[in-house]
Structure 1
Amino acid sequence: MTDPQTTPNKAVEAFIERWQNGGGKERANYQLFLTELCQFLDLPGPEPASDDPASDSYVFEHRVDIHHPDGSSTRGYIDLYRRGHFVLEAKQVSERHESSRWDKAMLRAAAQADTYIRALPGEHGRPPFLLTCDVGRTIEVYAEFTRSGGTYVPFPDPRSHRIHLDDLRDEAIRDRIRKIWTAPDSLDPSKYAARVTRELSKTLAQLARALERDGYEVERVAHFIKRCLFTMFCEDVDLLPKGEFTALLTRLKKTPEHFPDAIRSLWETMNTGGYSGVLNQQILRFNGNLFTEINPIPLSADQIALLIDAAKHDWSQVEPAIFGTLLERALDPDDRHKLGAHYTPRAYVERLVMPTVIDPLRDEWKDVQAAAAALEAQDKHDKAVDEIRAFHRKLCEIRILDPACGSANFLYVTLEHMKRLEGEVLGTLADLGAGQNLLEMQGNTVDPHQFLGIEINPRAAAICSKSCPAPRRAGSYYASSLFTLSESRNVDARAA
């Protein structure tokens, strides 16, 4: 059966055919390419530029004045600018597509676009998206939704931030481009997470109250619910067969007496990996001791229905950082009236995490990249590799302490950003021929053992230590296993 999301249509095929063999110079082609891209996606096209750049909101060749530390300034031109949406830097790279030289050329384009963003007038603010374009071949997407001066990172992740010409056959990709052009904030995952957190908190609180009324201890309820949440997340990020856990719950609602045995069977197989009889599928092994000592709670049909309601949400868009908060709010009688209304949104977390931890590391990484490039230019390949490896070792040795960690939102977000940075470092080593496998085999990698917390609330500490998953998304640059923060007993339940 044909997938409607990737069904070719005449407009897409005509556009791809027109540009897939394109050549020539950047200045001769980029405006035409982007204009035709807008036309076939039914997007508004750029407007004529005026004599006053400050009043231009959507133009080619938007002028900016770049001020330097020595007091001098130079003039630059943004290839395509849409105020409040994006800055786009276009190139027509002559290097072999996705070769090491091509990657470096595109990274230089991204750095140039970032310089232009910093030169925009203050009243314009920072756009949420930075785009680079290899004309007729690829658009790379970077995002920084807080607009607070942080680092633009690959969007939606480092494995899928490149949109190749052939990818335009996918309606989901075309829709992503349309939203970047017309409604960029709708792509901010924190917006979805905030709404879903409120809804899920209500559902989980209702289930927790019912189970506590049935006489089950809070800790057992927490263990049970956290495993259910994690299983829902896994089926939506393709670590489990898509939709199969929800389908299992739907079947069990009709025969609730079989619920404990069926769930026990599934979780035991998730702990070991192998064939799951209840799903009739081979499934991966999930380490981290999340599925050891399994003791599922029997549920009524109405209680299973609450799990089904929760499972129907798109968990791939829910921040794993809020899992602990969901449990804490669902299980704490004093906080139940809040029902998730006061969890810390990711944007607020990043306002602290980015300038204090990630931005300094990324600034240092830029210096290391420059030093390695200079050594490569001098034919000092081994020394260039040593520069990169030394930075990677530092990244793996840093310790992060949150002295009031709650349910670990800040720790999780910091871990995620450091893993993103590590992915870039390992990618650079691979480009230099050093490879990633040796480093990972030696255990030299960023992991949850580096992230420590102190928490005065024993309930929050228990949830964080035992229930806060740090999942590695399928298809990402670090998808190989699953961790929980409890692996290294990172959270100490005491006052700072």
Structure 2
Amino acid sequence: MKKFHNIENRDAVLAYDAVEVVTDESGEPVTRWDGRTMKPSPVTGEPVPDETARVPLMRYTNARKAEWQTADYIVGNPPFIGNSRMRDALGDGYVEALRRTHDSVPESSDYVMYWWERAAQLVREGKTRRFGLIATNSLRQTFNRRVIERHLSEEKPLSLIFAIPDHPWADTLNGAAVRISMTVGEAGEREGTLGNVVSEARGDADELSVELVERKGKIFADLTIGADVASVVTLKANENISSRGVSLHGSGFIVTPDTAAELGLGRIAGLENHIRQYRNGRDLTGTPRSVMVIDLFNLTPEQVRERFPEVYQWVLERVKPERDQNNRATYRDNWWVFGEPRANLRPALAGLKRYITTVETSKHRFFIVPVR
């Protein structure tokens, strides 16, 4: 083999002159939980964040977009890091520098979209003929789709000439089964080939056998052919008649019916208003877990401790340790309530015996109406 010096080991999306440790007023390094290391709770024995596993906060000086070498084709499999995990996986300083230098990529986007944005720009500028990237199947969801939509709708547009929106993938590092998408982009107005998985099977050696059905036509940002539902605009008549459900940001809020009874449900007056049935997206699309959730919205810690002491102790031991390590101050300070309690949704549901739900991330849009 010959050395052509054309293989580099460096950051693909962010360039910088130096990385410095952030220090406080006394010159000591500012640190955070490493986002991974857990320890058994001394009270419950359950895994909780290990506050001694610290990593320093870093500052990236003269941060800027990384330059890519001229190439006819770009092929990549960027890291599968979702938006919600970026700070834990990459560090606050890195994420802030990345977002600051890539203002064309919405902050709600996954890490892979920084590759997608750069590759699409180079192809549209005529500096690269085509690109092909692997991403998770969340590529077609709203928060990532905004990047794709912009490039497909520009005056000098990009076209998707090949795409598979949902394909099985075996993570060789930890053996996890994940779902991916594949996209190939080329400049100009062009039709493409869309592949949809119709059957899949795993063999004896863990290899995947997949059967695809292909269609040709204009591929839209949601990786479909047909009606361009991704380009629809907001209907003002629907304003404020729907809402996202609550986001817990703490697995300790979820309890079994038996645990709920031990905490006082059915025994302590008023607790039935704060421990109730719970369903998330997976419960609605699959087999429900028959779990309940502790909802302490509109209560202070003092009120919880006085009225429901067992519940207070439960969330203190099982929710607070996790929240204490959260980067968002509101989550840390209001550790006893859901991270996103949806204060506007609650009065809208007051007095209703039932309401319609849909799972935002489901493959197909379907609606669930509880049976009376």
TM-score normalised to the size of structure 2?
A: 0.26
Structure with more of its chain in helix, by fraction: 1
Structure with more of its chain in strand, by fraction: 2
TM-score normalised to the size of structure 1?
A: 0.21
